[in-house]
Amino acid sequence: MLSDDEGTPLGQNSTYFCRAIDDACAILKSAAHCKPEEMIATYRKEIFSLYEQTHLRKLCHLIENDLRLSIHSHLQLGDRTPSSPTNSRSSGLQALLRISKLRIGTDVLDGARFVEKYLEKTFYNLSAVALYDCHTYSRMRLLAQEKYGLLLCDSRLPFQRIDQGLDIIFVMRNIEMFVSNYNYNLNEQVFFERDSNSRYLNVLGVEHVANSIRTHGLGIMNTTVNFTYQFLKKRFFAFSQFLYDDHIKSQLSKDLRFYRENTENLGKMYPVKRVERFNTEIRKLGVSSDDESFLDRFRVIVTQIGNALGYVRLLKSGAIESNEYASNLLLDGESDEPMKLSLLLSCLTDDSITRYFLNNNDYMQLLVEMFSSEFRNYEKFDHLRNFFMIIPPLTVNFVEHVLASKGRLGKRGTAGKNFTFTDDGFCMGIAIAFCMIFWLK
């Protein structure tokens, strides 16, 4: 049945064949040695069984193999040019799927539905055994719909893939450890582990966040942001306490008075000598056993704030990325069928899909507005007004820290030291804190 030697269209021959099988029921109704109903039921059972074994099961295996080869075509060592969905092999399989339904009496055996049930069962069983293959079988479902018009049900299993990466549930429960041990890269939107006991460093990027959201669902977003908000409250309390210290306020007031009195002479530029003097005065207040001054600790607080907000920014990008697969399940809006249009409208009004495409759910903006409304209470947070004066010495401290960290890269005997080749959390923290205190949109 996979070939047509007479040159007649395959679908036409198959239609005649199915009708001929159904015509035999008229002859069986005249059986005299047994009940006609029993004879027709036996005939129907044998024909359906033979049709399944000789045609449908082979067709299922051919379509499954074609889907697998198409999905993994990028692994071929030879020609890696993607094959066209309408190649000769696929066209033949598509023609077989379009064969008229095999009807015997009042019973119908739908070949396309038989293939759908086979693929649904196969994909579910294989995904349940190895959850990290869920992504592969999700792509195969979409390809089956695009290539053969087969509508396969989702397995509803927890989504995973081979490169699953860090799970946002783990990060959420250990947010303080995460922002302390990971460095943020603003351009790539990636977090790199600062140091590890193993040979490899963990990485958290947009794809990893998207994988976690597909696994746990979009409901995890609000919980994760809430955990981050609770952490930021603690960090901003330490941030405020540092600037409220009498020694820090006194030094900032001196620098502010000097700058205002010499603004014209300095050309509105902050002198480096004043920065060095400020850092020296802060260092006189005491250092830790790791040779860290109070300004170093404040820089760490600012960096942790920036890392936490960078993580929120990463969550939003991951949520948009995770809906890429869901968008493929939307029906064609150009369809004239009322049922499809109603389903399409119900999908488009579902907040779980559209809110991230429309970028209406900006968690970072919500956090900034929430803390800004509190910081604008100058009766309570008047000491934060001089924050901008500590930015120059804090920036110099950060530059020295990064240069020292990069200098340790590649050197032996530096195990357990702080390795840093990117640390944009500091820049993020400075910018966000400045916007919150002085309310710059």
DSSP-assigned letters across all residues of 366-382: HHHHHHHHHHT-TTTSG
Q: pLDDT class for 49, splitting at 50, 70, 90?
A: confident
Higher pLDDT, 91 or 281: 281
Residue 124 inside a domain? The answer is: yes
Assigned token pair, 52: 């399944």
Q: Which pLDDT score, from 0 to 100, does residue 21 have? A: 77
User: Between β-strands 182-185 and 107-109, what pairing exists: parallel, antiparallel or unpaired?
Assistant: unpaired
Q: What percent of the chain has pLDDT over 70?
A: 79
Q: Please compute the mean of the pLDDT values over residues 335-362 and round it to a whole number.
A: 52
Residues 77 and 224 in one domain: no
Q: pLDDT class for 5, splitting at 50, 70, 90?
A: very low
Domain final residue pick, 113, 148, 183: 148
Q: What is the pLDDT of residues 291-333, one digit of tens each?
A: 889 999 999 999 999 999 999 999 988 888 887 666 655 555 4
DSSP per-residue codes, 111-162: HHHHHHHHHHHHHHHHHHH-GGGHHHHHHHHHHHHHHH---PPP--PPP--T
Residues 174 and 266 in one domain: yes
Residue 153 inside a domain? The answer is: no
Contact (CB, 8 A) for 88 and 102: no
Q: How far apart are CA 381 and CA 58, in angstroms?
A: 75
Residue 278 inside a domain? The answer is: yes
Q: Which of 426, 305, 409, 322 is nearest to 367 (CA)?
A: 305
**pLDDT of 71 over the 70 cut:** yes
**pLDDT of 260 over the 80 cut:** yes
Q: Which pLDDT score, from 0 to 100, does residue 241 have? A: 93
Q: How far apart are CA 303 and CA 418, in angstroms?
A: 14
Most confident option among 16-25, 98-107, 131-140: 131-140
Q: Please enumerate in sequence order all residues whose Cβ is within 8 A of that of 82, keeping only pairs 6 or more positions apart, or say none.
A: 73
Residue 215 inside a domain? The answer is: yes
Q: Which pLDDT score, from 0 to 100, does residue 346 have? A: 53
Q: Please compute the mean of the pLDDT values over residues 350-373 and round it to a whole number.
A: 69
Q: Which pLDDT score, from 0 to 100, does residue 12 have? A: 58
Residue 426 inside a domain? The answer is: yes
Residues 193 and 139 in one domain: no
Residues 81 and 214 in one domain: no
**pLDDT of 408 over the 90 cut:** no
Q: Which pLDDT score, from 0 to 100, does residue 313 have? A: 92
Q: Please compute the mean of the pLDDT values over residues 352-381 and round it to a whole number.
A: 74
The enclosing H or E element of 50 equals helix 36-51
Q: Which of 164, 295, 314, 159 is nearest to 228 (CA)?
A: 314
DSSP per-residue codes, 247-310: HHHHHHHHHHHHHHHTTTTTTT---HHHHHHHHHHHHTT-B-TTS-BHHHHHHHHHHHHHHHHH
Residue 4 inside a domain? The answer is: no
Q: Which pLDDT score, from 0 to 100, does residue 104 have? A: 78
Q: Please compute the mean of the pLDDT values over residues 156-165 and round it to a whole number.
A: 68
User: Between β-strands 182-185 and 190-193, what pairing exists: parallel, antiparallel or unpaired?
Assistant: antiparallel
Contact (CB, 8 A) for 150 and 64: no
Residues 183 and 96 in one domain: no
pTM of structure: 0.69
- In the three-class reduction of DSSP (H, G, I as helix; E, B as strand; rest coil), residue 46 is classed as helix
Residues 175 and 253 in one domain: yes
Contact (CB, 8 A) for 1 and 55: yes
| CB atoms near residue 109 (< 10 Å) | 17
Q: Which pLDDT score, from 0 to 100, does residue 344 have? A: 52
User: CA triplet 311, 384, 269: central angle to 5 degrees?
Assistant: 90
Higher pLDDT, 236 or 37: 236
Residues 324 and 184 in one domain: yes
Q: pLDDT class for 8, splitting at 50, 70, 90?
A: very low
Half-sphere exposure in the Cβ direction for 174 (13 Å, CA): 10
Q: pLDDT class for 239, splitting at 50, 70, 90?
A: very high
Residues 120 and 209 in one domain: no
**pLDDT of 369 over the 60 cut:** yes
Domain final residue pick, 148, 181, 212: 148
Residues 74 and 177 in one domain: no
**pLDDT of 287 over the 90 cut:** no
Q: Please compute the mean of the pLDDT values over residues 346-370 and round it to a whole number.
A: 64
Residues 212 and 282 in one domain: yes
The DSSP output letter for 333 is T
Helix 111-129 and helix 88-97: axis angle, to 10°?
A: 120
Most confident option among 107-116, 363-372, 387-396: 387-396
What integer best gives the mean pLDDT of the chain?
Answer: 80
Residues 139 and 228 in one domain: no
Residues 81 and 191 in one domain: no
Helix spans in 174-245 (H): 175-181, 206-216, 220-244
The DSSP output letter for 385 is G
Question: 182 lies in which domain range?
Answer: 168-438
Q: Which pLDDT score, from 0 to 100, does residue 230 have? A: 95
Question: What are the percentages of helix, strand and coil residues in the chain, rounded to 5?
Answer: 65, 5, 30
Phi, then psi, of 103 in degrees rounded to 5: -115, 130
Q: Which pLDDT score, from 0 to 100, does residue 46 have? A: 86
Q: What is the pLDDT of residues 80-98, one digit of tens each?
A: 555 554 454 666 787 777 7
**Domain total in the chain:** 2
- In the three-class reduction of DSSP (H, G, I as helix; E, B as strand; rest coil), residue 325 is classed as helix
Q: Please compute the mean of the pLDDT values over residues 155-174 and round it to a whole number.
A: 78
**pLDDT of 52 over the 80 cut:** yes
Residue 154 inside a domain? The answer is: no
Residue 417 inside a domain? The answer is: yes
User: CA triplet 366, 367, 369: central angle to 5 degrees?
Assistant: 65
